Amino acid sequence: MKTLAVLVTAAALTTLAGPAQAASAAPRKPARIVLATALPVTSACVVVGVGTTGVATGSRVTVIDDGRVIGRSRVTAGKAIVPISSKVQGSRVTVVVAGQRRIITVRTDAAALAASPWLVVNKKVSAGSSTPPRLTTSGNLRLQPSAAGAYEKMAKTAARQGTSLWVASSYRSAARQKSLYTAYVARDGRKAADTYSARPGHSEHQTGLAVDVAGSSCTLSGCFADTAAGRFVKSDAYRYGFVVRYPKGADATTGYRYEPWHLRYVGPWLAGYLHSVGSLTLERAFALPAAPDYAN
């Protein structure tokens, strides 16, 4: 199946935060679309990200393909995400919000899905045997370059605040995941292993966008949330583009128990949006089916 992507600069995705709100007495800023981008999240789904200024929360965002509406959403704190099918008719889609229009040029690219920072891998969606387009290695850290750079900045900030962060696990190949999963099944049984370990081809670590972090105590356990490192991650990780991928109470959606140490890089723009709307899972944010179990 074809995937859909657009070329956008890294700066557009990583630096947009929106200007401070004007004082109530100041004139309202004119409505503008300051960012419109589309990234594939699965082979069947593309998500359009829209950044605005001067647009009220609740305003409708519409995506049009060849005169046909293919997606709708609403603005929250200046941002919106609109899931659409990857089966579009033309090479362009139009984003419309508050009377403003932005045309996005799209193209089919076999490598786009693997390179997308919004790629979803879960119990329903497999990464197969794919590998990231590039990896950066620094000590125990091995991630895609954008994720690696963001992690190092985050760790340095934590250190300046007196909190240690270190890498417990980052990129894993499909072969390595198979070895780990097989060992967990042998120890705990398949049903138990499926609650905390991904089957081969279904691990986010295979994307090069996921990292398990630890501090000075309580490694890879729920009590990590109550440590200094865990509190820092909860309050500040989104500023560097990371989200807690398996939040508390989302087992029925993600298929995994709460993992406050498992961070997924999605970029500051999307991480900021998810933080502002209450830390949605990627499945809910992208209107994807819940993935509590494997297909078989």
Give the whole-angstrom CA distance, residue 252 versus residue 264. Answer: 19
Q: What average pLDDT does this structure show over 47-63?
A: 97
Give the whole-angstrom CA distance, residue 235 versus residue 243. Answer: 10
Give the whole-angstrom CA distance, residue 56 versus residue 274. Answer: 18
Q: What average pLDDT does this structure show over 123-127?
A: 95
Does 16 score more than 50 pLDDT?
no
Q: What average pLDDT does this structure show over 192-209?
A: 95
Nearest to 74, CA basis, from 63, 52, 59:
59
pLDDT at residue 128 in the model: 85
Maximum C-alpha span of the chain: 66
pLDDT at residue 17 in the model: 45
Does 47 score more than 60 pLDDT?
yes
| pLDDT band with cut points at 50, 70 and 90 for residue 13 | low
Residues near 165 by Cβ (< 8 Å), separated by ≥ 6?
Answer: 154, 155, 158, 159, 213, 214, 215, 229, 232, 233
Nearest to 207, CA basis, from 274, 255, 276, 262:
262
| pLDDT band with cut points at 50, 70 and 90 for residue 6 | very low
pLDDT at residue 113 in the model: 85
Kindly list the structural domains of the chain, giving each domain's residue range(s) and its CATH number in brackets, ordered by start: 10-115 (2.60.40.10), 136-285 (3.30.1380.10)
pLDDT at residue 175 in the model: 94
Identify the three-state secondary structure at position 133.
Answer: coil
Q: What is the pLDDT of residues 159-200, one digit of tens each?
A: 999 999 999 999 999 999 999 999 999 999 999 999 999 999
Output phi, psi for 39, to 5 deg. Answer: -135, 140
pLDDT at residue 89 in the model: 66
| pLDDT band with cut points at 50, 70 and 90 for residue 280 | confident
pLDDT at residue 11 in the model: 43
Q: Are strands 166-169 and 242-246 parallel, antiparallel or unpaired?
A: unpaired
The structure tokens listed for 282 are: 């990627």
| pLDDT band with cut points at 50, 70 and 90 for residue 147 | very high
Does 108 score more than 60 pLDDT?
no
Q: What average pLDDT does this structure show over 210-228?
A: 92
pLDDT at residue 114 in the model: 84
- Least confident range from 20-34, 52-66, 80-94, 151-165: namely 20-34
Distance of CA 62 to the CA centre of its chain: 22
| pLDDT band with cut points at 50, 70 and 90 for residue 21 | very low
How does the average pLDDT of the chain come out, rounded?
Answer: 89
pLDDT at residue 90 in the model: 67
Does 125 score more than 70 pLDDT?
yes
Does 133 score more than 80 pLDDT?
yes
Alpha-helical runs (H) found in the chain: 10-15, 112-115, 145-160, 174-188, 190-193, 228-236, 251-254, 268-276, 282-285
The structure tokens listed for 215 are: 């501090």
Does 15 score more than 60 pLDDT?
no
C-alpha dihedral (111, 267, 126, 197), degrees to nearest 10: 140
| pLDDT band with cut points at 50, 70 and 90 for residue 4 | very low
pLDDT at residue 296 in the model: 76
The structure tokens listed for 202 are: 């279904």
